[in-house]
Structure 1
Amino acid sequence: MTAARVALAVAGLALLGYGLHGWLTEQPGEVTGRVVFLAAGVAAHDLVALPLVLTAGALTARFVPPAARIPVQAALAVSATVTVVALPFVIGAGRVADNPSAFPRAYGPGLLWVLAVVWLAAAVWAALRVRRPRPREDR
C-alpha cells in the first residue's frame, strides 16, 4: 500500500470511530432504536431492493436488445433512485394542515416529468448505440 492509501484508511477509521462514539453517547437511551433502524434498513435492502434489482436485471437481459441494455438498465437505476427519494414528497408524508408551505409544490407531476426526461435520455442513448456501427469480432 502506498502512504496515501494508508493515510486515507487511518483518516477514514478515525472518522468512523468518532461517528460511532457520538452515535452511542449522544442520547444513550436511543441506541436500541437506532440499532433496530439500521437492522430494518439492511433487511429492507436484502429482502426488497435486492430481489427487485435482480429481477429487473434478468428481465432486461432477456427482453431488451443488447445495444439498448445499458441505457435501459441505467434508466431503471436512476428511476428507482429518484422515485425512492421523491416518494415521501409525492405522498405528503409529514404534511400538517396548519402549515401549507411545508409542501408547496405538486410533487407527483414533477416526478413524472423527471422520469420522462430520464427515459427520453435513455431512448436517445439507445438509439445512438443502435445506429453506431460496431466493430466485427473475428473468430
Structure 2
Amino acid sequence: MRVLLALAGLALLGYGVAGWLDAPGHELWGRLVFAAAALVAHDFVVVPLVLATAALTTRFVPEPARRPVQAALAVGAALTAVALPFVIGAGRIADNPSAFPQHYGRGLLILLALAGLGAAAWTAARLPRGRRRKP
C-alpha cells in the first residue's frame, strides 16, 4: 500500500511540476515566490502550532481520548484553513451577491461539530469496558 501511495504521490508531483514549467515566464516567478512563502509559513507557523498542540494534548488529555482529540484538531485546522477565506468573504464584490451564495460560517461550524462528534465516538469506542466476572 505504501508503494502505491508513493507512486500516486510522485505522479501528482510530476503533474504539478509539468504544469509549473508550462507556465509563462512572468507567472513562473510568482509561483516560485508563492512556493517559498508557503514553505516558510509551513516551517515557522504550521509546524510549531502542531507541535505545541500535540504537547498540550499529550499533557492534558487522557490516553483513551488523546488520538481522537488530536485527529479532530488536525481535521478542524484543515477545514478552517480552507473555509476561512469564504467565511470572512475575502474577495467579495459588493455588486455581485452570487459570488458567495452560502452561509459558510454555519457550514464550517457544522463540519467542526461533526469532527468533534467523530472524536467523541472514537473515544467512546476506545474506553475500557467494565470487568467481566468469571463463571
Aligned to 1:59: 56
Counterpart for residue 75 of structure 2: 78
Q: TM-score, normalised by structure 1?
A: 0.79
Write out per-residue CA displacement over residues 38-78 of structure 1, whole angstroms, 9 at most, x where no aligned residue.
00000010011000000000001100101111110110111
For 1:124 and 1:22, the matched residues in 2 are separated by: 42
Bigger drift between 117-126 and 57-66 goes to: 117-126
Aligned with 1:89 (options 86, 109, 126): 86
Bigger Rg, structure 1 or 2: 1
- How far apart are 1:133 and its partner, in Å? 6.4
> Which whole-Å CA distance do the structure 1 matches of 2:124 and 2:18 have between them?
52
Q: Aligned to 1:121, which of 118, 121, 128?
A: 118
Q: CA deviation at 1:25?
A: 4.2
What does residue 137 of structure 1 align with?
A: none
Gaps of 5+ in 2: none
Aligned residues: 126
Residues 24, 129 of structure 1: alpha-carbon distance in 2 compared, 3 angstrom cutoff: same
1:28/1:116 CA distance change after superposition, 3 Å: same
Structure 1 residue runs without a partner (length 5+): 135-139
Distance 1:22 1:120 in 2: 39
Q: Distance in 2 between matches of 1:82 and 1:29?
A: 32
* Residue of structure 2 aligned with 1:32, choices 26, 29, 33: 29
Structure 1, 92-101 or 50-59: larger mean CA deviation: 92-101
Change (3 A) 1:22 1:67: closer
| TM-aligned CA distance change 1:107 to 1:59, over 3 Å | same
Cα displacement string for residues 64-100 of structure 1 (whole angstroms, at most 9, x for unaligned residues): 1011111101101110111111111101111111210
Identity %: 61
